[in-house]
Structure 1
Amino acid sequence: MTASPLLAVRDLRVLIGGRHILHGVDLDVAPQGVTALLGRNGAGKTTTVRGVLGLVPRTGSVLLDGEETVGLPTHTLVRRGIGYAPEDRGIFAGLTVAENLRLAERRGADGPAYGLVHELFPELKRREKQSAGTLSGGQQQMVAIGRTLLNGNRLIIADEPTKGLAPKVVTEVAQVLERAAEAVPVLLVEQNLAVVRRLARHCVVLADGRTAHQGEADGLLGDAEATRRLLGVGRGPLAPFTAEADS
């Protein structure tokens, strides 16, 4: 990564209930495109995301565009431009697509960016009166990612967006993320290495609550031995990474 990172995490440590979950994670998120966060089950990926967002007690340094955010509450981080699409999507099934998006609006000088959301995901405009609970998994991810694009965020964090989805829907979600990353940088927690290869230029691998690797995604995924050693994938670098998401 040659340009200065948009997000720079240094020595991130998390202690929950007397148990050390993260032992000093370092990672950089590129200022453009997709940076993938990888690791085996229990490596600390979701805890790292929660640490960045201030959802768990943390120490260390988390710089967003050079500004320290450790010590700030989550709602302040959201206002400073971090959008979060959680693992379960966080969709309100009984509300329409339009109502789900409206709930995500924040006050801002330019107002919510519905033009951008509908340009990237015209399906949401066509289905704005449809109940979100009747959408496909891929369409629900459009809603989840669309909400993060409404408010001029500087970074989107997407946690396991393809988990549990059929292969056809995985392709649909990859297209959603690809379009979103054209507008806003994305930190992607992902199991499926084929999706990572398609989307990510940079990657970070965690192991036992520490950073085990950081570099170009193609370099890692093109090295079968390194992929097997770091991720436990035994059938070549493009085999699906099927470990369950860590907690």
Structure 2
Amino acid sequence: MSDLGQGAPAVEGAPLDPPLLALDGVDVVRGAGRVAQEVTLRLGAGQIVALLGVNGAGKSSLVQAVAGMLPVAAGSIVLAGTPIQHLPPERRARLGIGLAPEGRRVFPGMTVRDNLLAACRADRTARQERVASVYELFPQLAPKDRTHAWQLSGGQQQMLAIGRALMNLPRVLLLDEPTLGLAPAVVADLLERLTWIAGSGTGVLIAEQNSAVLGIAHRVSVMRVGRIVLDEAGPRLARAPGMLERAMLGD
């Protein structure tokens, strides 16, 4: 899979050093309140980190802050050695941040191909090559090339949202609730594709409620009431579901 990577299974172990993405003491503001406080998190190249929490835990707000959509009131966000917490979203995208937002937010009146092309800043040849790579990663999208996005299934729209985020070859891929509303079989296929993306060296940060991501996550950070309350190897948490439940819901 030329640009978008080939599969590599999740392995147990510590965060990679030096990290590709580093959050230190991050506070995130939404409206008049702080929705994330003193968050420290590490993501390495080729690593999948799951940010788990119930509704309102602050995980989506944290992902949006990394992408530049919400302000950071304190702390630092560093991408490959460059502080980005004060940069606008478009600068962060150019430096290598890609986002597939909650709710997919594809352009419903545009075709699959045009959704992908609209997201890419490369020249015409590179854009066409990257569309082909997205279709290789998500074969279900290829026969829908000229189909309008509103006509796709929920799973296909999620594939399109992720493919669109990959069109600029991000170093870090942010995913906000990617499995929301999807059937278990579709979720399983989607998670397999994410391991392939990580296999290319892309760091993948997934904000989720669905514990199915434990099957692919190298590390899991559990967020509750705006704070990280547990950081653990994904495979270990997968073997200890009680630990995860206590962390997400409290004792």
Match of 2:43 in 1: 29
Q: Please, what TM-score do these two structures have when normalized by structure 2?
A: 0.85
- Please say which of residues 205-214 and 74-83 is displaced more in the overlay: 205-214
> What RMSD over aligned residues (CA atoms) do the two structures have, in Å?
2.1
2:110 aligned residue (95, 102, 106):
95
Q: Does 1:38 align with 2:55?
A: no
Pairing 1:13–2:13 present = no
- Identify the residue that residue 69 of structure 1 maps to in structure 2: 84
Contact 1:87/1:158 (<8 A) preserved: yes
Report the Cα distance in structure 2 between the residues aligned to 1:28 and 1:109, rounded to whole angstroms: 35
Contact 2:16 2:43 in 1 (8 A): no
C-alpha distance in 1 between matches for 2:195 and 2:221: 19
Question: Could you list the per-position Cα deviations for residues 5-52 of structure 1 after superposition, in whole angstroms to 9, with x for gaps in the alignment?
Answer: 110000111233332222211111121131101122221101111111
Corresponding letter in the other structure for 2:96: G
Kindly indicate whether residue 150 of structure 2 is the aligned counterpart of residue 136 of structure 1. Answer: no
Aligned partner (choices 185, 207, 224) of residue 241 of structure 2: 224
| Kept in 2: contact 1:9–1:63 (CA 8 A) | yes
Structure 1 gap segments, 5+ residues each: 235-247
Corresponding residue pairs, total: 233
Partner Cα distance (2:190, 2:69) in 1: 26
Tell me by how many angstroms 1:231 deviates: 1.8
Shift of 1:122: 2.8
Partner Cα distance (1:212, 1:108) in 2: 44
> Structure 2: how far apart are the matches of 1:13 and 1:109?
40
Map of 2:204 onto structure 1: 186
Higher RCO (CA < 8 A, seq sep 6+):
2
The residue that corresponds to 2:121 in the other structure is 106
Corresponding residue for 2:6?
none
Q: Secondary structure at the match of 1:8?
A: strand
